[in-house]
Amino acid sequence: MSSNPTSPIKRRVSQQSIIEWAGQVVTVGGDAPVRVQSMTNTDTADAIATAIQVKELAKAGSEIVRITVDNPAAAAAVPAIREQLDKMDVYVPLVGDFHYNGHTLLNDYPDCAQALSKYRINPGNVGQGAKRDMQFSQMIEMACRYKKPIRIGVNWGSLDQDLLAKLLDQNAVSATPKELNQVMAEALIQSALQSAQRAQELGLPSNQITLSCKVSNVQDLISVYRDLAVRCDYPLHLGLTEAGIGSKGIVASTAALSVLLQEGIGDTIRISLTPEPGAPRENEVIVAQEILQTMGLRHFTPMVIACPGCGRTTSTYFQELASRIQSYLRHQMPIWKKNHPGVESMNVAVMGCIVNGPGESKHANIGISLPGTGESPAAPVFVDGVKVKTLRGDKIAEEFQLIVDEYVKNTYQNKVSG
């Protein structure tokens, strides 16, 4: 039987932000599932390259994609990117990421302001002194004019220095001074909350505002978001900024986000992985999905449960089979998702020997226990806890794949054949 958990997590109550474009809608917060989002790393001015990467990210499961809009050429390319995506039937909202000159670009490129579905505004990067208020106001006016939701995205690396200086001065004369990182955390939170308040005063509805306060240290991120979560009811965008490369980035992001998600905090997540050279950008989407799925918050793709292997199985056959099945399941999902709803919660076990193989296989929807070293060359297959077959010979992988196909067809409603 499937061991998929029913999520015991009680989500924090938040408003719901609605991202709309061309008759499409993606909700964030409220009763919406925790959304997966990502960001391109192409030059936005290259409309075709950017549209292709957005398509790949969306195909991998990114429900919102952010693109840098940092100069006139990038702003001019945004409508062409949207048009190209629409032509390719890629239904994903584009969020424009603005720093320093967003007020000018949104004003000078109205088609860009319209083509984007949401604006990300970093209050630490909208100008200094008196200019900051004016330029922030101009961006909010654009959001009001074009009816676009915004994310107020504060970042440790670009914190509002005036606000930080003010809080440090107050802290210096306080009877109970706080540690520097506590003052910085407070500055992050105040920057986000005060900017949101200002946006509302300028006429932006509160449910069009999402907040984020990103830092690169796991404990600081958890602490900041716990505090932010009780001080407002805006939807929260979670992400560990500059998470890093390879396993370090994945582990750090997972450690931070899973603590917060377990506490019901977080309405949309982005995993800021530095791609390994040549690695696909979509990996950050897959990691985000896997965090949500392993926590039982959402289901995206059937999961393969595989043992790590040990001295009892010296051949790599079961590793190859686990990898082959995982790729196959992910590859089939675009079709299965349409025709076999519910398949995303299926578990498939691929185990290396008799020690835990049959037991783990019985707990999965479908499981196979491959023969370990010295065991009889037979691979029992279990379906919903019952042994249905024993595979032998050199076609085990192909035959097991057919059993998976058959199970999907018979178990999950087939809209095509009724």
Contacts of 266 (CB under 8 A, 6+ apart): 34, 225, 236, 237, 238, 257, 260
Contact call for residue 372 and ligand SF4 (CB under 6 A): yes
| Structural contact between residues 218 and 255, judged by C-beta atoms closer than 8 angstroms | yes
232 assigned to a ligand binding site: no
213 assigned to a ligand binding site: no
Tell me the DSSP string of 301-366.
SPEEEE----TT--SSHHHHHHHHHHHHHHHHHHHHHHHSTTGGG-EEEEESSTTTHHHHHHHSSE
Q: Is 395 helix (H, G, I), strand (E, B) or coil?
A: coil
Contact call for residue 312 and ligand SF4 (CB under 6 A): yes
Nearest position to ligand SF4, beta carbon: 352
How far the first Cα of the chain sits from its last, in Å, is 25
Contact call for residue 351 and ligand SF4 (CB under 6 A): yes
Distance CA 111, CA 104 (A): 13
Distance CA 124, CA 196 (A): 13
Task: Name residue 245's beta-bridge partners.
Answer: 274
Rounded to a whole number of angstroms, the minimum distance from the CB of residue 379 to ligand SF4 is: 13
Rounded to a whole number of angstroms, the minimum distance from the CB of residue 212 to ligand SF4 is: 40
Contact call for residue 307 and ligand SF4 (CB under 6 A): yes
Helical ranges in 88-236 per DSSP H: 102-108, 110-115, 129-145, 161-172, 180-201, 218-231
Binding ligand SF4 (rule: CB under 6 A), the pick from 153, 266, 352, 371 is 352
Which string of x and - marks every residue 252-271 that binds ligand SF4 (by CB under 6 A)? --------------------
275 versus 309: smaller Cβ distance to ligand SF4: 309
Contact call for residue 374 and ligand SF4 (CB under 6 A): no
199 versus 349: smaller Cβ distance to ligand SF4: 349
Rounded to a whole number of angstroms, the minimum distance from the CB of residue 356 to ligand SF4 is: 4
Rounded to a whole number of angstroms, the minimum distance from the CB of residue 306 to ligand SF4 is: 8
Residue 152 CA neighbour count, 13 Å, CB half = 29
Contact call for residue 355 and ligand SF4 (CB under 6 A): yes
Size of the site for ligand SF4 (CB under 6 A): 13
Contact call for residue 368 and ligand SF4 (CB under 6 A): no
Q: How many residues does the chain have?
A: 418
Binding site residues, ligand SF4, CB under 6 A: 307-310, 312-313, 351-353, 355-357, 372
| Sequence ranges of the binding site for [4Fe-4S] cluster | 307, 310, 353, 360
| Sequence ranges of the binding site | 307, 310, 353, 360
